[in-house]
Amino acid sequence: MRRIAAHYVFTGIGNPIPMGVITLNDEQVITEIGVLTDETESTEFYTGILTAGFINVHCHLELSYLRHRLKPCGGLADFIGQMTKIPRRQPADSEALVAMRAADAEMQREGIVAVGDICNTAGSFPLKRESAIYYHSFIEAVGLDEVAAAAAMQRLRQLCADARQAGLPASITPHAAYSLSDALLDAAIDAANRAGILSVHNQECDAENELFTAGRGALHDLFAAAGFPLPPVTGQRAVYRLLSRIAPSVRALFVHNVALSEDDYDRAADCLPHLTWALCPNSNRYIGQAVPPVDLLYRRNARVAIGTDSLASNSRLSVLEELKSISRRFPHIPLQTLLQWATVNGAAALGKEREWGCLRTGANAGIVLIENVHLHDLRLTADSRACPLVMPTSGANRNPGKPIPCS
């Protein structure tokens, strides 16, 4: 048995509990949550706040070896241009493996217990089998050549089957509205519709909308110069190419959304009742000095979750660092909301709200201490840091344990 207490417990459901205490059994399952009245010798008391383990809904483990390799702030087209010029590491490359292991360890140190990870190869599968983190591998479809679509889907299906055979949750997903031919987009979204889960990069910059509305702009010029086939000019903004294909029942994650308009938001929310908006603010700043529409999503009470993106466009894999960035720029958003984005909402987006994301009796969701918080105003500070106190014992990819209802 273990009793852990702090100035506040944020459960993810309901209001924060001042002087909260959590009791765990030997399997790290919560047996009681309440208010600290009788501090005993066995109570561990921490200065700060306690929350469930963080969920990182968007990462690319495979790109971990690219830390500090790409020039920042040139915009998305420049970033893609740089990526295409860097020789891709093979999955078995030792530098790539070492970098992935370091990234996985960093996420554990940052209190992350579950990750939505984009995969182009099988390189991360052995690591994921051993990690204490739960990974959902999104096997990514990308390619503008219509003729190559059938062969690409065959390769992706095989990759997905390999992941599942290794005991890893996996599903096929499209990369973005702008990077797939009609045939590949149809097939990839059809596969995601059948799996019931999808993660797609959405409207990462204005050039993405321009490509579809007018057939011009920085992405258009990049593709034209490289000799890539161009996606069709539809006269509609990029998100509509996705909305017309995704089934309403799907748990869809739209990632980035930097160039999302209010109309785009309304239409997407109407079409997709289970849509989650993933924000990766530090990556947006690195790539294009851009800011996602945090205030719009907050005002509309949208389901928001947090991603770190990869180390190609971020210097840290820390959900808390993303929250600190949002809090600095949008100080009116309460810490309780930010922590719901970082926990409960992310778990729901990955279809794992029964396992992770909230602290409640019967849960084995991990416990993270956030230190150096402004306790009077309940605000994060520049020095706030995450310290995992408990990792979920059932969080491995092999056996998710007994489902726990999380209302």
- Can you give the binding site for Zn ion, defined by CB under 5 A? 309
> In angstroms, what is the minimal distance from the CB of 60 to Zn ion?
6
- Map residue 351 onto helix, strand or coil: coil
Helix (H) or strand (E) holding 361: none
Nearest Cα to Cα of residue 254 among 302, 201, 299, 320? 201
> In angstroms, what is the minimal distance from the CB of 307 to Zn ion?
7
> In angstroms, what is the minimal distance from the CB of 34 to Zn ion?
40
Strands 17-24 and 54-59: unpaired
* Cβ distance to Zn ion smaller for residue 10 or 341: 341
User: Nearest residue by C-beta to Zn ion?
Assistant: 309
Strands in 134-141's sheet, in edge-to-edge order, are 54-59, 112-119, 134-141, 170-174
> In angstroms, what is the minimal distance from the CB of 220 to Zn ion?
21
> In angstroms, what is the minimal distance from the CB of 280 to Zn ion?
7
> In angstroms, what is the minimal distance from the CB of 321 to Zn ion?
16
Gyration radius from the chain CA atoms = 21
* Cβ distance to Zn ion smaller for residue 71 or 376: 71
Q: At what angle do helices 218-226 and 76-85 cross, to 10 degrees?
A: 20
> In angstroms, what is the minimal distance from the CB of 175 to Zn ion?
8
> In angstroms, what is the minimal distance from the CB of 201 to Zn ion?
5
In DSSP terms, 5 is beta-bridged to 21, 45
Q: What is the 3-state secondary structure (H, E, C) of 160-182?
A: HHHHHHCCCCEEEEECECCCECH
* Cβ distance to Zn ion smaller for residue 210 or 309: 309
For residues 359 and 22, the answer to whether their CB atoms sit within 8 Å is yes
Structure tokens at 114: 């579950």
In terms of phi and psi (left: phi > 0; alpha: psi -120 to 50; beta: otherwise), the region of 380 is beta
Helix (H) or strand (E) holding 6: strand 2-9
User: Between vectors from CA 308 to CA 305 and to CA 309, what angle results, nearest 5°?
Assistant: 110
> In angstroms, what is the minimal distance from the CB of 246 to Zn ion?
18
- Give the count of beta carbons closer than 10 Å to the beta carbon of residue 120: 18
Using a CB cutoff of 8 Å and minimum separation of 24, what contacts does 312-316 make?
312/60, 312/63, 312/66, 312/67, 312/69, 312/70, 312/83, 313/70, 313/72, 313/79, 313/283, 313/286, 313/287, 314/280, 314/282, 314/283, 314/286, 315/67, 315/68, 315/282, 315/286, 316/106, 316/110, 316/282
* Cβ distance to Zn ion smaller for residue 264 or 309: 309
For residues 294 and 327, the answer to whether their CB atoms sit within 8 Å is no
- Map residue 268 onto helix, strand or coil: helix
> In angstroms, what is the minimal distance from the CB of 110 to Zn ion?
18
